[in-house]
Amino acid sequence: MNIAILCGGRGTRLESKTKGKPKILIDVNKKPFVYLLLESLINKGFNNIFLLTSYKSNLIKEEVGKFYKNIPINYIEDDNNFKSGTASALLNAIDKLPSHFLLQYGDTILDINYKDFYHKSEILDNYLLMSIFDNKNNLDKNNVLYDNKSLIYYNSESPKNHNKIFDANFIDYGLLGMHKKFVDKYIGILSENESLKYYQEKLSLRNLIYPYIVHKRFYEIGNPESYENFKNNYVSGKLKKIINSCS
């Protein structure tokens, strides 16, 4: 299975913890977060992993190396031809990625059936498959309107969408499935804005996103509060079970 990880972020909100390193290298119980992420993905069956890097990418390469537990790690560095951002990272990498792949944010550990999600995405070659979670605004504010088994609208959370956020009842879970030919078909939308959220919003308005409901929460290190929560769940053993699980 193929997966690309967005790990170009510098972790601005975590600067006191990252100490100038890329966010994905932040320590969790004296271990770089990237190792926990790779461990989880390899245990779930991924054997073709791409790290989409940008900020101080050399530090990630030096830390991880060419292999992790005998699985090759492929690096695609942002060549700065586009504005820095999540959509730009995908736009820069698309020609070097396989014909079908999953795309995940590099600051999360997900409790999802990756194999089921992957196989559903393989079939849906004319849609973007998006994982969503009934979060009840607990982990973060909702940004997806889901109704009658359909994803009605994805909110990019730009200022012009302020009123629409109140209608949202699910949250983006942080895992997408896509075919390269789909990305190529709508490459114009992808290049309009550096944010992947903008791309998802535009696709939702064209009814091109197929929802995948997830029933268990995600764990992320995006801000100081969620980072401390992540560490506590790791030390308690809860996250270790998710990381070590093969399902």
pLDDT tens digits, 83-117: 567 888 888 899 999 999 999 999 999 999 999 99
CB 88 within 8 A of CB 82: yes
Condensed to tens digits (0 to 9), the pLDDT of residues 190-243 reads: 877 778 888 999 999 999 999 999 999 999 988 889 889 999 999 998 999 999
Which of the four pLDDT bands, split at 50, 70 and 90, describes residue 10?
low
Condensed to tens digits (0 to 9), the pLDDT of residues 23-32 reads: 889 889 889 9
Distance CA 160, CA 198 (A): 12
**33 or 247: which carries more pLDDT confidence?**
33
Distance CA 234, CA 19 (A): 21
**119 or 139: which carries more pLDDT confidence?**
119
Condensed to tens digits (0 to 9), the pLDDT of residues 161-179 reads: 655 666 889 999 999 999 9
Residue 137 has pLDDT above 80, yes or no: no
Mean of per-residue pLDDT scores for the chain: 87
- What confidence score (pLDDT) does residue 241 get? 92
Q: For the chain, what percentages of helix, strand and coil (3-state, to nearest 5) are there?
A: 40, 25, 35
Nearest residue to 24 (alpha-carbon basis) of 14, 44, 9: 9
- What confidence score (pLDDT) does residue 42 get? 96
- What confidence score (pLDDT) does residue 30 get? 87
The pair phi, psi for residue 111, each rounded to 5°, is -105, 75
Nearest residue to 26 (alpha-carbon basis) of 195, 218, 223: 223
- What confidence score (pLDDT) does residue 1 get? 95
CB within 8 Å of 95: residues ≥ 6 apart: none
Condensed to tens digits (0 to 9), the pLDDT of residues 41-70 reads: 999 999 999 999 877 878 889 888 888 888
- What confidence score (pLDDT) does residue 87 get? 81
Tokens of 135: 């979060």
CB 118 within 8 A of CB 102: yes
CB within 8 Å of 74: residues ≥ 6 apart: 48, 49, 50, 51, 96
- What confidence score (pLDDT) does residue 14 get? 65
Distance CA 23, CA 149 (A): 35
Cα separations in angstroms, 17 against 5, 22, 92, 152 = 21, 11, 29, 38
Residue 225 C-alpha from the chain's centroid: 19
Condensed to tens digits (0 to 9), the pLDDT of residues 66-92 reads: 888 889 999 998 766 555 678 888 888
